[in-house]
């Protein structure tokens, strides 16, 4: 009870409540999003929103509002998002480092995710190694999106064998045309 009520004239009968709003994402609080509040008179039960408050009340309300701390749990979603993002980045870096090693020493059975000239993605399987040459067969199917490649894993491969020299394969990897390598 901090203020005199201008409605009923009762002294020290008005309480101010400040509410912190937040944005949620699937019911997980994501980020705080501004404050709102009301005043309430214990005597006449009048409630006023921020816009309806008389100047005297508004000043007190503004003070309370700026003093109100934002609960840290309201950042839960954003914090989770940052942690996930960093985790994904580290994972990606590790995978790239691992792939850079694998591409230098290809093995029979390796499956490469490859981007071709038409910007289509497919899988190439290493079937043999002869000296400096890598012998590959391509999957018969293509995907316009690398995410679709996992669906191709069990589909048929062409019987046609193509050759590529190891240094050329490394070049394709460096160019980003070999986007991933799977080794059992
Ligand atoms: Zn009142």
| Percent of the chain with pLDDT strictly greater than 90 | 82
Burial 65-86 (b: 16+ CB within 10 A, else e): beeeeeeeebbbbbeeeeeeee
Which residues make up the CATH 2.30.30 domain(s) of the chain?
A: 99-182
How far is ligand 1, taken at its centre, from the CA of residue 58, in Å?
15
How far is ligand 1, taken at its centre, from the CA of residue 62, in Å?
20
Q: In which band, very low, low, confident or very high, does the pLDDT at 1 lie, cut at 50, 70 and 90?
A: low
How far is ligand 1, taken at its centre, from the CA of residue 10, in Å?
6
State the pLDDT at residue 44. Answer: 96
Residue with tokens 């979603």: 77
Task: Read off the pLDDT of residues 164-175 as tens digits, 9 standing for 90 and up.
Answer: 999 999 999 999
DSSP-assigned letters across all residues of 92-112: HHHHHHHHHHHTTS--TT-EE
How far is ligand 1, taken at its centre, from the CA of residue 15, in Å?
10
State the pLDDT at residue 42. Answer: 94
CA–CA gap between residue 67 and residue 65 (Å, rounded)? 5
Task: Read off the pLDDT of residues 70-119 as tens digits, 9 standing for 90 and up.
Answer: 999 999 999 999 999 999 999 999 999 999 999 999 999 999 999 988 88
How far is ligand 1, taken at its centre, from the CA of residue 49, in Å?
14
How far is ligand 1, taken at its centre, from the CA of residue 9, in Å?
6
How far is ligand 1, taken at its centre, from the CA of residue 21, in Å?
27
How far is ligand 1, taken at its centre, from the CA of residue 44, in Å?
4
Residues in the chain: 184
Please choose, from the candidates 24, 34, 19, the residue with its C-alpha nearest in 3D space to the C-alpha of residue 77. 24
CATH 1.10.10 fits 99-182, yes or no: no
């Amino acid at each position: 009870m901090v203020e005199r009520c201008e409605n009923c004239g009762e002294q020290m009968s008005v309480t101010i409540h400040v509410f912190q709003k937040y944005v949620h994402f699937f019911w997980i609080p994501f980020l705080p999003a501004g404050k709102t509040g009301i005043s309430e008179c214990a005597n006449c039960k009048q409630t006023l929103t921020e816009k309806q408050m008389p100047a005297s009340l508004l000043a007190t309300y503004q003070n309370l509002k700026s003093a109100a701390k934002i609960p840290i749990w309201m950042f839960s979603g954003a914090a989770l998002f940052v942690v996930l993002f960093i985790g994904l980045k580290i994972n990606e870096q590790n995978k790239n480092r691992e792939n850079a090693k694998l591409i230098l020493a290809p093995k029979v059975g390796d499956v490469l995710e490859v981007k071709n000239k038409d910007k289509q993605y497919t899988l190439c399987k290493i079937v043999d190694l002869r000296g400096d040459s890598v012998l590959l067969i391509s999957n018969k199917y293509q995907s316009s999106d690398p995410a679709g490649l996992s669906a191709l894993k069990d589909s048929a491969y062409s019987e046609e064998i193509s050759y590529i020299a190891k240094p050329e394969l490394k070049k394709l990897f460096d160019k980003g045309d070999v986007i991933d390598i799977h080794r059992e």
